[in-house]
């Protein structure tokens, strides 16, 4: 089940955004085989890793010649593989794009790093916060009188990295079905997070964005677009950009009609925002929900992620699922005709090693020998 049913993808397991991309593809029905390193779980590995759901796993030593041969066998009938090592690592393992193309010309080769495969920073270490610094995304996030604030690691790792990788792989797989030839997909988190900023380039080019933080329409500068604390020390969000939506909020909150006079006057926004701050503190979060839920005031309570699954809207859409007692986001987006099935539980490292090896034509004695040699786990 799922729109990617029949697509086979090899994931060279790394951290964070790589497994996330693999999860997205597996959620959509792709047969994702995670290639893990042999050995014990490292200190950075999670006891419960939702990004490993819906996959198969083989433990394989890619530094050994036999491990490399088995990896090439895996790739012979695959549609794509992806990895997140520094440039040149896979080539040194004799598993670079040219090596893989020699056994499967139509395979798509995904490569995801922070800086990209080329450029003066390509071989240097970094993390999400560094990549979104270079793209310009981080500079625009946070209050105007404070340093920029990291938006977790969502913009670089997961939005600009993992999602871009999954998108790029599917694009290239579709192209390969027409041309019969795979290609390299070079995913840079700097460039991916830059692409996410396209609307702000448009706003600035249109004269609707000041080159500073915390004074603009969508960065917390506007009184009608932001978050506010409530009487019970919780928070709500207001996003009433359009005047007709702000008018609904004004009427529901019992405010004076003068509020609409300076709706798009940035000079008045700080004052109006301070007034709104006091107004929202006059009621609890639930009282604001009782007043505004179901209206066009562009309002929502700010929920902790561990409580989001309880909201009636999320419940009605089955936006969350439970697997082995762990509540987690359901596969997204939804499809009318090829709905993916509920994913299987996160795969343990090496769980499918024997079955995968047998599928590749290796005998039980081969498997036992390779395991004794540490080539497989």
- For the domain that residue 269 is a member of, what is the CATH number? 3.30.1540.10
- pLDDT for 124 equals 97
- For the domain that residue 362 is a member of, what is the CATH number? 3.40.50.10540
**Residue 3 pLDDT level (bands cut at 50, 70, 90):** very high
Give residue 128's Cα distance to chain centre.
Answer: 12
- Provide the strand spans (E) within the chain: 8-12, 31-36, 56-59, 80-83, 108-113, 184-188, 225-229, 235-239, 299-301, 320-323, 326-329
Q: Give the domain extent around 293.
A: 225-310
262, 285, 310: which is the final residue of a domain? Answer: 310
Could you tell me if 296 and 249 lie in one domain? yes
Could you tell me if 157 and 90 lie in one domain? yes
Q: Are strands 184-188 and 8-12 parallel, antiparallel or unpaired?
A: unpaired
DSSP string, 230-276: -TTS-EEEEE--SHHHHHHHHHHHT--GGGGGGTT-GGGHHHHHHHH
Could you tell me if 156 and 258 lie in one domain? no
CA–CA separation, 81 and 59 (whole Å): 16
What angle separates helix 164-179 from helix 17-27, to the nearest 10 degrees?
A: 60
Find out whether 367 and 358 touch, Cβ atoms under 8 Å: yes
CA–CA separation, 253 and 282 (whole Å): 11
* Residues near 121 by beta carbon (within 8 Å), at least 6 away in sequence: 115, 134
**Residue 58 pLDDT level (bands cut at 50, 70, 90):** very high
pLDDT mean across residues, the chain? 96
CA–CA separation, 16 and 25 (whole Å): 15
**Residue 59 pLDDT level (bands cut at 50, 70, 90):** very high
User: Has residue 275 been placed in a domain?
Assistant: yes
Could you tell me if 128 and 246 lie in one domain? no
Residue 41 pLDDT > 80, yes or no? no
User: Has residue 28 been placed in a domain?
Assistant: yes
Could you tell me if 44 and 179 lie in one domain? yes
Residues 157, 223, 263, 309: which is the catalytic one? 157
310, 341, 359: which is the final residue of a domain? Answer: 310
**Residue 352 pLDDT level (bands cut at 50, 70, 90):** very high
- pLDDT for 221 equals 96
**Residue 241 pLDDT level (bands cut at 50, 70, 90):** very high
CA–CA separation, 377 and 374 (whole Å): 7
Mean of the pLDDT values across residues 215-235? Answer: 97
* 223 catalytic residue (yes or no): no
User: Has residue 38 been placed in a domain?
Assistant: yes
Could you tell me if 303 and 344 lie in one domain? no
Buried b / exposed e across 138-151, counting CB within 10 Å, b at 16+? bebbbeeeeebebb
- pLDDT for 46 equals 87
Whole-angstrom distance between the N-terminal and C-terminal Cα of the chain?
30
- pLDDT for 42 equals 66
User: Has residue 205 been placed in a domain?
Assistant: no
* Residues near 36 by beta carbon (within 8 Å), at least 6 away in sequence: 13, 57, 58, 59, 60, 349, 350, 377
The total number of structural domains that make up the chain: 2
Residue 211 pLDDT > 80, yes or no? yes
Could you tell me if 32 and 124 lie in one domain? yes
- pLDDT for 1 equals 87
270, 286, 310: which is the final residue of a domain? Answer: 310
Could you tell me if 272 and 344 lie in one domain? no
- pLDDT for 43 equals 65
User: Has residue 347 been placed in a domain?
Assistant: yes
Could you tell me if 144 and 114 lie in one domain? yes
Could you tell me if 101 and 145 lie in one domain? yes
Could you tell me if 304 and 333 lie in one domain? no
* pLDDT, tens digit (0-9, with 9 covering 90-100), for 143-195: 999 999 999 999 999 999 999 999 999 999 999 999 999 999 999 999 999 99
Residues 49, 127, 186, 366: which is the catalytic one? 127
Judge if the upstream peptide bond of residue 114 is cis by omega within 30 degrees of 0.
no
pLDDT > 70 in the chain, percent: 99
Q: Is 40 helix (H, G, I), strand (E, B) or coil?
A: coil
Tokens 């946070």 map to which residue?
A: 142
pTM of the model: 0.95
pLDDT > 90 in the chain, percent: 95
Length of the chain in residues, anyone? 377
Could you tell me if 191 and 229 lie in one domain? no
User: Has residue 2 been placed in a domain?
Assistant: no
Joined together, the tokens standing for residue 121 give 């920073």
* 157 catalytic residue (yes or no): yes
User: Has residue 1 been placed in a domain?
Assistant: no
């Amino acid at each position: 089940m799922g729109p990617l049913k029949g697509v086979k993808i090899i994931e060279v397991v790394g951290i964070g955004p790589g497994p996330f991309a693999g999860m997205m593809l597996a959620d959509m029905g792709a047969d994702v085989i995670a290639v893990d390193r042999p050995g014990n779980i490292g200190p950075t590995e999670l006891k419960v890793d939702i990004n490993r759901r819906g996959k198969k796993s083989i433990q394989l030593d890619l530094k050994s010649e036999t491990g490399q041969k088995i990896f090439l066998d895996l790739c012979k009938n695959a549609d794509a593989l992806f990895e997140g090592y520094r440039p040149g690592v896979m080539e040194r393992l004799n598993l670079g794009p040219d090596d893989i193309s020699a056994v499967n010309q139509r395979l798509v080769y995904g490569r995801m790093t922070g800086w990209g495969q080329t450029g003066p920073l390509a071989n240097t270490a970094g993390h999400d916060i560094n990549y979104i610094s270079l793209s310009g995304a981080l500079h625009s996030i946070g209050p105007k009188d404070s340093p920029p604030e990291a938006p977790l690691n969502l913009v670089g790792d997961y939005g600009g990295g993992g999602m871009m990788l999954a998108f790029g792989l599917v694009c290239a797989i579709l192209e390969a079905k027409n041309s019969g030839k795979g290609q390299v997909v070079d995913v840079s988190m700097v460039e991916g997070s830059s692409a996410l900023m396209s609307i702000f380039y448009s706003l600035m080019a249109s004269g609707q964005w000041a080159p500073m933080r915390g004074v603009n329409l969508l960065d917390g500068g506007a009184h009608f677009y932001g978050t506010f604390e409530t009487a019970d020390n919780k928070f709500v969000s207001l996003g009433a950009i359009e005047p007709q939506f702000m008018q609904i909020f004004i009427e529901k909150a019992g405010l004076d009609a003068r509020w609409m006079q300076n709706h798009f006057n940035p000079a008045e926004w700080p004052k109006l925002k301070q007034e709104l701050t006091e107004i929202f503190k006059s009621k609890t979060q639930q009282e604001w929900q009782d007043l505004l839920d179901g209206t066009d005031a562009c309002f929502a309570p700010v929920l902790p992620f561990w409580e989001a699954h309880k909201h009636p809207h999320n419940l009605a859409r089955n936006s969350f699922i439970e697997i082995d007692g762990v509540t987690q986001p359901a596969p997204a987006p939804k499809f009318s005709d090829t709905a993916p099935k509920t994913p299987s539980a996160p795969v343990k490292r090496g769980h499918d090693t024997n079955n995968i090896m047998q599928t590749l034509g290796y005998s039980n004695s081969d498997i036992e020998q390779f395991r004794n040699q540490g080539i497989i786990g």
